[in-house]
Amino acid sequence: MRFTKAFIPTLKESPADAEVVSHRLMIRAGMIRKLASGIYDLLPLGLKAIRRVETIVREEMDRADAQEVLLPVVLPAGLWKESGRWELYGKELLRLKDRGDREFCLGPTHEEAITDMVRREVRSYRDLPLNLYQIQIKFRDEMRPRFGLMRAREFIMKDAYSFHATDECAEREYENMRQTYTRIFHRCGLEFTCVEAETGTIGGSFSHEFMVLADTGESSIVVCQACGYSANTERAEIAPPRTPPAPAEKGEPPGEVHTPGKKGVDEVAAFLGVSPEQLIKTLIFTTEQGPVAACVRGTEEVNPEKLKRAAGVETVELADDRTIEEATGGAAGFSGPVGLLKVPVIADYSVMDMKDAVTGANKRDYHLVGVTPGVDFNPTYMDIRVAKGGDPCPRCSTAMILKRGIEVGHIFKLGVKYSESMGALFIDESGRERPIIMGCYGIGIGRTVAASIEQNHDEAGIIWPAPLAPYHVHLLPVNMNDEKTRKKADSLYETLRMEGYSVLYDDRDIGAGIKFKDADLLGMPLRLTVSGRTLKEDSVEIRKRRSGSQELVHLDEVVAFLERFLRGVEERPSMNP
Ligand code: ATP
Ligand code: MG
């Protein structure tokens, strides 16, 4: 592409609302422009990078025997009512009506739509298994769209759905997709890790997320460097204490202290002159089976998903003041486990070995001091807190490390959640009718491009890994007014294009300084500089964007150089006119 014909509106300044480097660089490099909050135009360079990821995704999904389809973006409400998600999905689902007042939504994900398509066609186990995928625009009315394409409202997703007659088959496909995702993100040149994850509103029995490691990531994960266990902190288990603490001795009973208006952990700790570690935080949750009390150390957070599993319930929500008063007999903000008889008390393992702790007294403006778990109250001990760095690994008890990540992919074993509610049935080998077993697998295409920039940039701009680079080569004649330079650059441009390389040819008649700055900003893996000086030796100067190393290469050797360089970083550059 000749720069003089290209639509690459680069900017010197970063936009004020761009908080992360990938967002800033994508705007400055003229890849994207904001149309409305979380809604972006993709300009030619941005679209090229997106297409690079899509091509890799398509090649690998096809290789894994998945088949591409394309379902509608506008989905009838009826399907979502069948699955129950019309009510559950909340405000992220953008709902609309047609001229006949019929309800629709913009698809945020396509479990319902694909289950509907498959239930109409699949009859018997002979029609299974199937894995169908699409690369398509999704809409989610995110509460806080930000970071450009990373958390947009309208975004491109690859979503795949698999259908099986048996659990074993579904689990084999899950593993197939896990390996496929690993290949995809490797080919994208990303540093990533696959972690155990929660299933959220998509649901199902288990799931893994693919996380690109980056300090700006919105997800936190814990990793055990000894055994390789890694999980989203929303999900991560924490090992119980290896040896249970010795039974506590019965000492003085707890004493009541007056703590007027002191509610929060830090406030109470400061008021009593103890460390927040010494407090047992007691939260009352409502569940479909009635209230439950959850106790963690003052410095820890309750993980609602773990609490659900520990209490054996489907829903947990923080209780309102009235429920707290009914359950504890005391005011909200002063709850504690001692003498709490009406509700089950679940305490985190980390509470087990506390002594002389401080808790609420279930009485307005009072706390208890000198509380000993196991003596003054007897909870059920479970793992119910949010994991953090330093917590013991559930597999080997080594202290885990906290990292931040960007979730680029998510795979789920769905089971029969959608097929059961929507009646997607098949006849099994013994002639029985059963719900189809499903899995689903998503990749954020735009988010993957943004994540790549988060990992690959410097102060001057983007550093594209060759497989995602919009162009492989940035051809830069220093002075277009010099006839010899222009002619050689023109002919090199033609040669490289004939050889199948994608070339951005900066044929602008402007100062070399601006051209070099733009080349660094746009970040193509190789910059080929042509000037009077290089031509004296019938050469061009080839500079590698990542290492900054440069060398003179004879004009006859340029193609061989590119071939070697690109073969080193990927098998063969895919053709790109
Ligand atoms: P998150 O927790 O980041 O909101 P999610 O769990 O809601 O993501 P999934 O439903 O698993 O996301 O969607 C599959 C993939 O789609 C994600 O792994 C992510 O790469 C991408 N994705 C999800 N939401 C967005 C968004 N708002 N903008 C861009 N990509 C997104
Ligand atoms: Mg997710």
- Kindly give, in sequence order, each residue whose CB lies less than 8 Å from that of residue 546, ignoring residues fewer than 6 positions away: 456, 463, 525
Measured from the CA of 157, which atom of ligand 1 is nearest?
Answer: 16
Q: How far apart are CA 411 and CA 443, in angstroms?
A: 9
- Which protein residue has the closest C-alpha to ligand 1 atom 16? 444
Measured from the CA of 152, which atom of ligand 1 is nearest?
Answer: 28
Distance between Cα 411 and ligand 1 center (Å): 11
Candidate of 85, 218, 447 to mutate for ligand 1, largest count of ligand atoms within 8 Å of Cβ: 447
- Which protein residue has the closest C-alpha to ligand 1 atom 2? 407
Residue 6 or 240, more confident = 6
**Side-chain half-sphere CA neighbours of 541 within 13 A:** 17
> pLDDT for 532-562, tens place per residue?
999 999 999 999 999 999 999 999 999 999 9
- Which protein residue has the closest C-alpha to ligand 1 atom 3? 407
Distance between Cα 407 and ligand 1 center (Å): 7
Q: How far apart are CA 368 and CA 371, in angstroms?
A: 7
> pLDDT for 146-190, tens place per residue?
999 999 999 999 999 999 999 999 999 999 999 999 999 999 999
Candidate of 407, 440, 448, 449 to mutate for ligand 1, largest count of ligand atoms within 8 Å of Cβ: 407
Q: Is residue 477 scored above 60 in pLDDT?
A: yes
- Which protein residue has the closest C-alpha to ligand 1 atom 23? 444
CB-based pocket (< 6 A), ligand 1: 109, 140, 142, 151-152, 155, 157, 200, 202, 407-410, 442, 444, 446-447
Residues of the chain with CATH 3.90.960.10: 255-382
Measured from the CA of 408, which atom of ligand 1 is nearest?
Answer: 20
Distance between Cα 208 and ligand 2 center (Å): 9
Distance between Cα 454 and ligand 2 center (Å): 19
Q: Which CATH architecture has domain 471-567?
A: 3-Layer(aba) Sandwich (3.40)
Distance between Cα 215 and ligand 1 center (Å): 18
- Which protein residue has the closest C-alpha to ligand 1 atom 14? 442
pLDDT for position 569: 64
Q: Is residue 572 scored above 50 in pLDDT?
A: no
Distance between Cα 157 and ligand 1 center (Å): 8
- Which protein residue has the closest C-alpha to ligand 1 atom 26? 151
Strands (E) across 314-422 are located at 316-318, 345-348, 357-360, 366-371, 380-382, 401-415
- Which protein residue has the closest C-alpha to ligand 1 atom 22? 444
The whole-chain average pLDDT of the chain stands at: 94
Q: How far apart are CA 177 and CA 170, in angstroms?
A: 11
Q: Which 3 state secondary structure label does DSSP give 72?
A: coil
Closest CA to 360 of 268, 276, 252: 268
Measured from the CA of 442, which atom of ligand 1 is nearest?
Answer: 14
In 10 A of CB 494, how many CB atoms? 12
Q: Is residue 577 scored above 70 in pLDDT?
A: no
Domain 21-237+402-454 sits in CATH 3.40.50.10800: no
Closest CA to 269 of 257, 278, 260: 278
Q: Which 3 state secondary structure label does DSSP give 262?
A: coil
Distance between Cα 506 and ligand 2 center (Å): 41
Calculate the CA 403 to chain-centre distance. 13
Distance between Cα 110 and ligand 1 center (Å): 13
Distance between Cα 344 and ligand 1 center (Å): 36
List CB-based neighbours of ion ligand 2 within 5 Å.
410
Distance between Cα 423 and ligand 1 center (Å): 27
Percentage above 70 pLDDT, the chain: 98
Candidate of 410, 413, 445 to mutate for ligand 1, largest count of ligand atoms within 8 Å of Cβ: 410
> pLDDT for 345-364, tens place per residue?
999 999 999 999 999 999 99
Measured from the CA of 218, which atom of ligand 1 is nearest?
Answer: 3
CATH of 255-382, one of 3.40.50.2300, 3.40.50.1980, 3.90.960.10, 3.40.50.12280: 3.90.960.10
Q: Is residue 202 scored above 90 in pLDDT?
A: no
pLDDT band at 105 (very low <50, low <70, confident <90, very high): very high
> pLDDT for 362-398, tens place per residue?
999 999 999 999 999 999 999 999 999 999 999 999 9
Site of tokens 């450009």? 148
User: Residue 298: phi, psi to the nearest 5?
Assistant: -55, -30
Distance between Cα 37 and ligand 1 center (Å): 17
Q: Is residue 574 scored above 60 in pLDDT?
A: no
Which of the residue ranges 27-36, 228-237, 246-255 has the most confident prediction, judged by mean pLDDT? Answer: 27-36
Burial code (b: 16+ CB inside 10 Å, e: under 16) for 382-415 equals: bbbbbbbeebbbbeebeebeebebbbbbbbbbbb
Q: How far apart are CA 452 and CA 159, in angstroms?
A: 20
Q: How far apart are CA 468 and CA 54, in angstroms?
A: 10
Range with the poorest average pLDDT among 103-107, 238-242, 303-307, 451-455: 238-242
End-to-end CA gap in the chain: 8
Say how many residues make up the chain.
Answer: 577
Residues of the chain with CATH 3.30.930.10: 21-237+402-454
pLDDT for position 249: 73
pLDDT band at 575 (very low <50, low <70, confident <90, very high): very low
Q: How far apart are CA 61 and CA 452, in angstroms?
A: 20
Site of tokens 């100067």? 541
Q: How large is the angle between the packed helices 44-63 and 445-455, nearest 10 degrees?
A: 110
What are the structure tokens assigned to 246, written together? 């010795």
Tell me the chain's radius of gyration from C-alpha atoms.
29
